[in-house]
Structure 1
Amino acid sequence: MAETVGDYVLQRLREWGVQQVFAYPGDGINGIVTAFGRAGDDPHFIQARHEEMSAFQAVGYAKFSGRVGVCMATSGPGAIHLLNGLYDAKLDHVPVVAIVGQTERSAMGGAYQQEVDLQALFKDVAGDYLVEVNVPEQLPNAIDRAFRTAMSRRAPTAVIIPSDVQEEAYTPPAHAFKQVPSSPPGLTRPAAVPSAPDLRRAAEVINAGSRVAILVGQGARAAAAEVQQVAEATGAGVAKALLGKDVLSDDLPYVTGVIGLLGTRPSYELMRDCDTLLIVGSNFPYSQFLPEFGKARAVQIDLDGSMIGMRYPTEVNLVGDAAATLRALLPLLTGTPAKAWREKIEAGVAGWWRTMEQQSMVNADPVNPMRVVWELSERIPHDAIVTADSGSAANWYARLLRVRGEIRGSLSGTLASMGPAVPYAIGAKFAHPDRPAVAITGDGAMQMNGMAELLTIARYAHRWADPRCVVCVLHNNDLNQVTWELRAMGGAPKFEESQQLPDVSYADIARAMGLDAITVRSPDELGPAWDRALGAGRPTVIDVYCDPEVPPIPPHVTLEQASSRLRAVLKGDPGGLHLVVQGAKTKLREVLPGQDR
């Protein structure tokens, strides 16, 4: 049989080093699905329960592997379902390639079944590179450009292949007019370094500071050693944007933790009191958590010149690779480290971790959700990969998970979509099948799509050298983050018709799907539950019944937020008295450390 376009697509994916494609079948990609069969499932076809989950799995794989994630879907509804995961990739700057089917060319424009204008649909989300392949000769160039663009621009790209094209015999492009060949797969990215004059200007700004702060994002992940050297040379404290939470270990005494609404008080104070700010690989959007405009001099380093100088009036913008730029900058840093500044930072960090432990141990009804993550931090393997969902789960992940060793972690940072924690963990397991993964999710996200993906975990766990994949559900029967936003931002009481969730046992569902499962209804059961799950040698769901009224209090509560919460109580919030009591008990741990619980 002559090699088809579908066969060639898989061959080119193999040449790019692709080992799995996260996908869901449909007749719009039948020509490629049958090619998987002829290829002996190489690359592996990883079947999710929904195309959106395929896209999230590809994003999770890309985030934790550093390689391109590949997802695939059929035409029409399948293609539409990919969009949310692809937007997650776009907003978090993650390389993903989507391969999408389309109706046959002869039917296009004829209002045919499942015909959607895919080029219009994907124009925004995959705008860096979007192509429809209408003749076999367009391959391999289309696939190669999709990969190279995804890698170089850290963005999702899409290749649309009509179903009849997939089944045609593949013929390579010729050395002919209006035919476009391609080179073998591969891409080498230069370690770009700014000019010497720009580096000297940056050093002058940093050397002049006596209270230096560093903010790192995910773009600093490959520059962790260099960031530490700069911090030591300047006496700086280091705060982390949410997507950069795993860049530096929280065991370093000058690392203040995450910044922003989900952040820590030491990070808030670091930004409030510094006179010099160095931003490395971050596009942190909330400028109110950065130094007051005009109060601090600032330098920024980023690989993407279009994303630099956007959030703060920086004096010097260095466009270049973070690690290479910091290495070139280090010899120019001649200032004396500010001992008193560093000591103040370290004291604040040490005090904050004590406060977090005390707040986690505050009694709640039935379990304090803060303690869930605190107990995990006490025993998590140092090579674990942690994923978190949007919602209140993100608060506890951001503030309480103590990153150390080789721990990696991520969530839907910029899109803040519900539902990626479980598919991210699945993608992580295919990126690192020899490492344990932990997904921290709320019951809202679990009901939205996490429960179905437990089937995917059960199906593929035998392929992972370390089958530990732990899904921890914060079970409070409430869409908790939105409830708190209604209270704190709108002064509105909880509207139970929109916020309450139907009660279900996630442990029972997990057991029915063939997974291990643990139900936790008491705080004393948390530690043993984590010990059992992390030692089980198989996928496990921990179903923790949590108190919905433990407040995700920001590091600096404004008068407006406090007033809004009070108005919500006065308007008859159904959990009013309990939320006031829990909020007071939690906040008191900051001002009365060590007091009785």
Structure 2
Amino acid sequence: MPKTADFVLERLTEWGIHRIYGYPGDGINGFLGALDRANGDPELIQPRHEEMGAFMAGGHAKFTGELGCCLATSGGGAIHLLNGLYDAKLDHQPVVAIVGQQKRFSLGAAYQQEIDPTLLFSDVSEFVQTCMHPAQARHLVDRACKVALSNRTVATIIFPVDVQEEEAQPSPPRVHGAVYSSVGWTKPRVTPPQAELARAAEILNEGSKVAMLVGQGAAEAQDEVVAAAELLGAGVAKTLLGREVLPDDLPYVTGPIGLLGSTASYELMMNADTLFMVGTSFPYAEWLPEEGQCRCVEIDIDGRMIGVRYPTQANLIGDSKDTLQALLPMLQRKEDRSWREKIEHEVDRWWRVLDDRAHESADPVNPQLVAYELSPRLPENAILTTDSGSATNWWAQYLRLGKGMKASLAGTLATMGAGTPYAIAAKFAYPDRPVIALVGDGAFQMNGMNELITVKRYLEKLTAQNPTLIFCVFNNQDLNQVTWEQRAESADPKFMGSQWIPDVPYAEFAKLLGFEGIKVDDPVAMGPAWDRALAADRPVVLEVVVDPEIPPVPPHIKSELGKKSAKAMLKGDPEEAGVMTKGAKQKMHEFTESVRDALPGKHE
């Protein structure tokens, strides 16, 4: 007879979960046996650490829109899931976590590995329950999946070891208290009332300088966003989680916004008279228009988040695609295209600034050049990930995504360590597509190197249809983003005791695993190195020795940040000379391009 664990796995497959990222332990022995009996459906993918499994489950959800699933044993294994699950929760991804627990009669005895997982997971999970009887498993699985999908969040089910092993009860006894649930969920069509749509249209039609800001909530509304931008003559800035919403070859797409943003996005926001936010909760008010500068229309499916980032005059609570489809017939095409022309000019200037910056000399390789040389070489349908760190700046600014490409990172949690497992999950989900991760050496040392072993274990599955799986490591022996934050936010010099990290032969490590290992320490070799990596017949670690003194220059240096950075230098920063010289050169390129724009016959 099938056991409860067998029934749970079968039920999960009915919900479309055919891959579970999990690490073994005796607290989930019942599930391990059931997975063996399941003959690969669902398939167990064994990462090197439970945290990585949770990141992979969240990455799967991000790139597919489907439920992600992870599995961990009781005690320490369950605890390890938390960081990856918080990443999924804060970026609104549907993930179901299955967690082991000690036998029911052991609970309360301070038994080995006994923790209170209900309490532990209550903040990260919108639904968390312990299965205390086999007949309970059916409705717990069904509710967990429904909650995760409906609220785009994390749901957790805890299974004591003895319940896992008990005989399954797919249909509860027909007694008082029994619950009979079913598999099935349909995404609702959510649109605002007509009066609010009319109010939004009135505001957008009256505005002469419309700025749009789109996030991941607009990912399924690409055509509608383009149509709205064309009618309104608007420029469109993108949050980091919204990178894939629009391709970067559209001349009015100003690219990223914020500290990691573009000068084009900054000018767009500072000069607009109307703000149109679609599917985003971008939190940094200093990079949005000043309060009172703009009238604002916002689309967000979560009414709890509407109007909490910028004061709104029209609150469109609804799905981005459905709401835009209802709104578009009410929008009037703006005949005066001078605002649009100004935006396109700023975008063109920004790309020229990036070109100049990437070719600035460095010791040995300018990190901007790494992403600059990849951008024109991006394969069709590429999937791109990155980690949290200074590499995120270059990923955000330099990669010109084409139509159909996917891209993501740990957005709201901004945790280190997500870039590599995201890439692996993307490759499992889309084995026919090229996947490229840009990660810093700090994050790669933290956990990325270990997950190359996971790639080795599942090598044939990951590369049989398309071998392109590249991990580009920025080797600067520095936890570089925090170094810059120490200077700009705390007015402190770089503290070598916390910021320096050991030099590791990343490319050689890749070779030990049978992968392609490429090391670049000469800027002339950067382009050919990408050609070699993209043509490889196996996974690649592309290690680039980059200059830690090249600053991630914000699109506008706030006076307070500038003063603090100067104070940090005066306190005796170990890289003072290089930072000041190279930082000045990087910022100077904006001034140079402005001068070029003012000259007659500037680009002829």
Q: TM-score range by the shorter chain?
A: over 0.9
- Equivalent in the alignment of 1:63: 62
**How far is 1:407 from its partner?**
1.2
- Equivalent in the alignment of 2:287: 289
Q: Equivalences for 1:455-494 in 2 at 5 Å?
A: 455-464=453-462, 465-494=465-494
The separation in 2 between residues aligned to 1:83 and 1:470, in whole angstroms, is 27
Q: Is 2:192 aligned against 1:208?
A: no
Q: 1:449-471: per-residue Cα shift (whole Å, max 9, x none)?
A: 00000101111121132132100
Maintained 8 Å contact 1:234/1:337: no
**How far is 1:211 from its partner?**
0.4
Q: Equivalences for 1:423-572 in 2 at 5 Å?
A: 423-464=421-462, 465-572=465-572
- Equivalent in the alignment of 1:384: 382
Maintained 8 Å contact 2:264/2:343: yes
Unaligned runs of 5+ in 1: none
Q: 1:53-80: per-residue Cα shift (whole Å, max 9, x none)?
A: 0000111111001101100000000000
Maintained 8 Å contact 2:383/2:406: yes
Q: Equivalences for 1:74-153 in 2 at 5 Å?
A: 74-126=73-125, 128-153=126-151
The separation in 2 between residues aligned to 1:382 and 1:263, in whole angstroms, is 25
**Superposition TM-score, scaled by structure 2 size:** 0.97
- Equivalent in the alignment of 1:35: 34
SS in 2 for 1:149: helix
Q: Equivalences for 1:404-415 in 2 at 5 Å?
A: 404-415=402-413
The separation in 1 between residues aligned to 2:390 and 2:4, in whole angstroms, is 46
Maintained 8 Å contact 2:48/2:451: yes
Maintained 8 Å contact 2:349/2:593: no
- Equivalent in the alignment of 2:600: none
- Equivalent in the alignment of 1:319: 317
- Equivalent in the alignment of 1:16: 15
SS in 2 for 1:222: coil
User: Counterpart amino acid of 2:570?
Assistant: L
The separation in 2 between residues aligned to 1:594 and 1:329, in whole angstroms, is 38
Maintained 8 Å contact 1:232/1:337: no
Maintained 8 Å contact 2:16/2:67: no
Q: 1:207-247: per-residue Cα shift (whole Å, max 9, x none)?
A: 11000111100000111100111111110101111110110
The separation in 2 between residues aligned to 1:151 and 1:537, in whole angstroms, is 37
**How far is 1:41 from its partner?**
2.6
User: Counterpart amino acid of 2:592?
Assistant: L
**How far is 1:489 from its partner?**
1.1
Q: 1:557-587: per-residue Cα shift (whole Å, max 9, x none)?
A: 0122122111111111111101111111211
SS in 2 for 1:101: strand
The separation in 2 between residues aligned to 1:338 and 1:15, in whole angstroms, is 54
SS in 2 for 1:140: helix
- Equivalent in the alignment of 1:254: 252
The separation in 2 between residues aligned to 1:72 and 1:147, in whole angstroms, is 15
User: Counterpart amino acid of 1:289?
Assistant: W
Maintained 8 Å contact 1:18/1:43: yes
**How far is 1:335 from its partner?**
5.1
The separation in 2 between residues aligned to 1:100 and 1:201, in whole angstroms, is 48
The separation in 2 between residues aligned to 1:335 and 1:474, in whole angstroms, is 45
The separation in 1 between residues aligned to 2:480 and 2:100, in whole angstroms, is 38
User: Counterpart amino acid of 2:50?
Assistant: E
Maintained 8 Å contact 1:211/1:338: no
- Equivalent in the alignment of 1:177: 176
The separation in 2 between residues aligned to 1:595 and 1:345, in whole angstroms, is 18
- C-alpha RMSD of matched pairs (Å): 1.2
The separation in 2 between residues aligned to 1:276 and 1:337, in whole angstroms, is 17
Maintained 8 Å contact 2:19/2:44: yes
**How far is 1:400 from its partner?**
1.0
- Equivalent in the alignment of 2:342: 344
SS in 2 for 1:292: coil
Maintained 8 Å contact 2:51/2:83: yes
The separation in 2 between residues aligned to 1:114 and 1:390, in whole angstroms, is 32
Maintained 8 Å contact 1:174/1:181: no
1:162 to 154, 160, 163: 160
The separation in 2 between residues aligned to 1:360 and 1:337, in whole angstroms, is 37
Q: 1:145-200: per-residue Cα shift (whole Å, max 9, x none)?
A: 111111110101101001111000001213321111111x2211122111111111
The separation in 2 between residues aligned to 1:54 and 1:506, in whole angstroms, is 22
Which one is further off, 409-418 or 323-332?
Answer: 323-332
User: Are residues 337 and 403 of structure 1, via their aligned partners in 2, closer, same or farther at CA, if it must alter by over 3 Å?
Assistant: farther
**How far is 1:96 from its partner?**
0.6
The separation in 2 between residues aligned to 1:9 and 1:280, in whole angstroms, is 38
The separation in 1 between residues aligned to 2:132 and 2:459, in whole angstroms, is 38
**How far is 1:594 from its partner?**
11
- Equivalent in the alignment of 2:576: 576
Q: Equivalences for 1:202-281 in 2 at 5 Å?
A: 202-281=200-279
**How far is 1:321 from its partner?**
1.1
**How far is 1:525 from its partner?**
1.2
Maintained 8 Å contact 2:214/2:238: yes
User: Counterpart amino acid of 1:530?
Assistant: W
Total equivalences in the alignment: 593
**Superposition TM-score, scaled by structure 1 size:** 0.98
The separation in 1 between residues aligned to 2:133 and 2:246, in whole angstroms, is 48
Maintained 8 Å contact 1:461/1:467: no
Q: Is 2:45 aligned against 1:46?
A: yes
Maintained 8 Å contact 2:51/2:84: yes
Maintained 8 Å contact 1:21/1:71: yes
SS in 1 for 2:509: helix
User: Counterpart amino acid of 1:395?
Assistant: N
The separation in 2 between residues aligned to 1:140 and 1:530, in whole angstroms, is 50
Maintained 8 Å contact 2:467/2:536: no
**How far is 1:476 from its partner?**
0.2
Q: Equivalences for 1:189-208 in 2 at 5 Å?
A: 189-208=187-206
Unaligned runs of 5+ in 2: 597-604
**How far is 1:401 from its partner?**
1.1
**How far is 1:17 from its partner?**
1.8
**How far is 1:595 from its partner?**
11
The separation in 1 between residues aligned to 2:381 and 2:489, in whole angstroms, is 38
Q: 1:113-157: per-residue Cα shift (whole Å, max 9, x none)?
A: 00010000000000x111100100012110111111111101011
SS in 2 for 1:116: coil
The separation in 2 between residues aligned to 1:282 and 1:338, in whole angstroms, is 28
Instruction: Give structure 1 regions of 4+ aligned residues with deviation exceeding 3 angstroms.
Output: 593-596
Maintained 8 Å contact 2:467/2:537: yes
The separation in 2 between residues aligned to 1:250 and 1:390, in whole angstroms, is 22
Maintained 8 Å contact 1:122/1:158: yes
Q: Percent same amino acid at aligned positions?
A: 54
